Amino acid sequence: MTTLRIGLLGTGPWARRVHAPALAAHPGVELAGIWGRRAEAAAALAQVHDTRPYADPDELSAVCDAVAIALPPAVQVPLAVRAAGAGCHLLLDKPVATSVPEARALADAADRAGVASVVFFTARFGAEEGEWIAAQAAAGGWFTAHADWLGSVFAEDSSSPYADSPWRRAKGGLWDVGPHALSVLLPVLGDAEAVTATRGPADTVLLTMRHSSGAASTATVGLTAPAAAAGVDLTLRGTAGITTLPRRLDGPEPAYHRAVDALLAAAATGLPNACDIHFGLRVTEILAAAQESLSPLMPLEA
């Protein structure tokens, strides 16, 4: 396997917990450097993983074959567009953007450059979840589905390291955990041909969708559930009976390792991954349509 030189853009909790250690440990990767919006954070994280910090993201892209991005969507888009223009393959975080024009611009940039892309949807790259999703998509015959994807990031009793995330506070669970629910429902039930949304308590949103297979689905997403009520549950009902998405027990790190594997494969073969930038664009389009059906999205109170 050819070693891919990957630069990391981002130094926040997600980058420190998942991206940096997984990239540094991956046998097919050379962690070429780290850039962050705070130079001291980039230097500290680079020291931990025996690489060097960069003061400019374009300088890092210039010495890389790919970039991995662990940044808010509004920051991710322009940096990813520039990295693609420099010939770098893209390992992106979800959502790829929070507006359709931005997501489309990023997809167009990747297409023009001919670079591979993978969006890290954790459920899609989990070993058990990925196998389950593929098996249910092959089985077909699904009538309805319901997902609860509820976090307690902004609950009163929260101890989440992401509670200080400005973009999550502004956009809420629709944009943070909504992509996870869609990443499971769409490959099993088909594209969402219609979507509506209803507001629940705080940032909680109930999505109702009609899919190209004829199935209907609902998903409750949010980041303000009490800790005792938070969790993930997704159930399908159809001709094969009732089945439930298996729970991940090993955390996001192994899933990220498999996302890196997927980027390596797409870069080597030129074959697009199912979770590429175009799938990320479609997720953004569906979420934007859902948001349009809500009253104006208000930030959570501090």
Q: Per DSSP, what are the bridge partners of residue 7?
A: 33, 67
Report the pLDDT value the prediction gives residue 298, as an integer from 0 to 100: 46
Is residue 38, in this structure, part of any structural domain at all?
Answer: yes
Report the pLDDT value the prediction gives residue 268, as an integer from 0 to 100: 96
Q: Rounded CA gap, 115 and 35, in Å?
A: 21
47: DSSP letter:
H
Q: Are residues 153 and 115 in the same domain?
A: no
Q: Rounded CA gap, 123 and 220, in Å?
A: 16
Q: Rounded CA gap, 70 and 165, in Å?
A: 12
Is residue 129, in this structure, part of any structural domain at all?
Answer: no
Q: Are residues 110 and 36 in the same domain?
A: yes
Number of domains in the chain: 2
Report the pLDDT value the prediction gives residue 159, as an integer from 0 to 100: 82
Please, where are the H alpha helices in the chain? 13-14, 20-25, 39-48, 57-62, 73-85, 100-113, 122-125, 127-139, 166-176, 178-189, 252-269, 277-292
Q: Rounded CA gap, 80 and 90, in Å?
A: 7
Q: Are residues 18 and 61 in the same domain?
A: yes
Question: Considering the chain, what is the average pLDDT of its residues?
Answer: 95
Whether the Cβ atoms of residue 72 and residue 52 lie closer than 8 Å to each other: no
User: 10 Å Cβ neighbour count for 1?
Assistant: 10
Q: Is the pLDDT of residue 7 over 90?
A: yes
Mark 134-150 as b/e (b = at least 16 C-beta within 10 Å): eebeeeeebeebbbbbb
Per-residue pLDDT of 36-94, as tens digits, reads 999 999 999 999 999 999 999 999 999 999 999 999 999 999 999 999 999 999 999 99
Q: Are residues 165 and 56 in the same domain?
A: no
Report the pLDDT value the prediction gives residue 1, as an integer from 0 to 100: 52
Q: Are residues 232 and 171 in the same domain?
A: yes
Whether the Cβ atoms of residue 6 and residue 68 lie closer than 8 Å to each other: yes
Q: Is the pLDDT of residue 226 over 70?
A: yes
Q: Are residues 33 and 109 in the same domain?
A: yes
H or E element at residue 246: none
Q: 190 is in which domain, residue-wise? A: 141-245
Is residue 299, in this structure, part of any structural domain at all?
Answer: no
Per-residue pLDDT of 113-159, as tens digits, reads 999 999 999 999 999 999 999 999 999 999 999 999 999 999 887 88
Question: Residue 198: which CATH number?
Answer: 3.30.360.10
Q: Is the pLDDT of residue 300 over 80?
A: no
Last residue of a domain, one of 200, 228, 245: 245
Question: Residue 73: which CATH number?
Answer: 3.40.50.720
